[in-house]
Amino acid sequence: MLDAVIWISLTALAIALPLYGPRWQLRRVLARPLPAEAEAVLRRNIPPYGRMAPALQAQLRQLVVQFLHQKKFIGCEGLVVDDEMAVTIAGQACLLLLNRPSKVYPSLHTIMVYPSAFVAQRHSVGPGGVVTPDRQSMLGESWDDGRVVLSWDDVKNGARDWTDGHNIVLHEFAHQLDSESGRANGAPYLGSVSNYRQWSEVLERDYQHLRFSAMYRQHSVMDHYGATNPAEFFAVATETFFEKPWQMAEHHGELFGEFLKYYRVDPRDWQAAPLPPPPPEPEAAPRLYSFAAGW
């Protein structure tokens, strides 16, 4: 009888451990605060962090703890990924997850970090289906098999200038969010059908505007790379939303509104409004000519 009880208990444990083990472990990890040195990295390398309300800072720290616990970092080409690199990447990636229930990029397991821009092997298909091997220099990549690849030099640069609209971590992790809803197509998970309808109407219109600006090399708040396809448009618009929120709100009001609803934060709270352009120089007073008569 005792043997049977022990046998049943052991079987129950064998079933429960793989099911609940990771959850118990996560709960234990989340109960521990982010170490002070890691918080100092957030302050140093993620300018919005210092301007957030304490409750939002606490949320971000918790997301970072979960991210660091669940994801594996691999250094490439001899790079050793230290705590500063991991926390900087995790902190920027988790900015996209604030104020909503999130499983923290559930299908992502590995972040590969190169020291600088890396070369990726590609194949381009030419006329007649001829496949040609192609080598491309990349700053980052997002794969739907659970990997993100980043150039550390470019992560650092993105952290240093938070107002230029370029941030490789925000870009690649926006792709991850996009692919959570199936194929990356510029529409992340939005809930109701009416949300998708509104999203696609607004994004399609601004995407076509950006394509036009790119074609005619006109100035745009968003980088012209966003005109490549709808998935790149969403990733570039995400960079713009977090780094140039004032300009995006002014020039792409409806798009900004959709991103406010989706990301549930207003990055204008973390950034001073850009200074208005200087007033035009006053016109020079008409020059008075005097004629010296009598020569």
Shortest Å, Cβ 232 to Zn ion: 5
Which of these ranges, 9-17, 45-53, 112-120, 230-238, lies near Zn ion under the rule CB under 5 A? 230-238
First to last CA, the chain: 134
Binding span for Zn ion by CB under 5 A among 89-97, 157-165, 191-199, 232-240: 232-240
Are 178 and 186 spatial neighbours (Cβ–Cβ below 8 Å)?
yes
In the complex, the smallest distance separating the C-beta of residue 66 from Zn ion, rounded to whole angstroms, is 25
Report the DSSP pairing between strands 140-142 and 147-151.
antiparallel
Please identify, using beta-carbon distances, which residue of 9 and 229 lies nearer to Zn ion.
229
Distance CA 35, CA 83 (A): 11
Report the residue from 52, 235, 249, 265 that binds Zn ion according to the rule CB under 5 A.
235
Q: What is the rounded CA–CA span in Å between residue 40 and residue 239?
A: 23
By C-beta, is 232 or 243 nearer to Zn ion?
232
In the bound complex, what is the minimum distance in angstroms from residue 280's beta carbon to Zn ion?
A: 39
Q: Does 63 bind Zn ion (CB under 5 A)?
A: no
Q: From the CB of 236, what's the least distance to Zn ion, in Å?
A: 8
* CB nearer Zn ion, residue 223 or residue 232: 232
Question: Binding residues for Zn ion, how many (CB under 5 A)?
Answer: 2
Cβ atoms within 10 Å, residue 159? 20
**166 or 244, CB closer to Zn ion?**
166
Pick the stretch among 25-33, 101-109, 208-216, 231-239 that binds Zn ion (CB under 5 A): 231-239
User: How many Å apart are CA 190 and CA 142, to the nearest integer?
Assistant: 20
Residue ranges in the chain assigned as alpha helix (H): 2-30, 36-45, 47-51, 54-70, 83-94, 152-160, 168-180, 193-215, 230-243, 245-251, 253-263
Residue 39 or 178 having the CB closest to Zn ion = 178
Instruction: Say how many C-beta atoms besides its own lie within 10 A of residue 54's C-beta.
Output: 7
Binding site for Zn ion (CB under 5 A): 232, 235
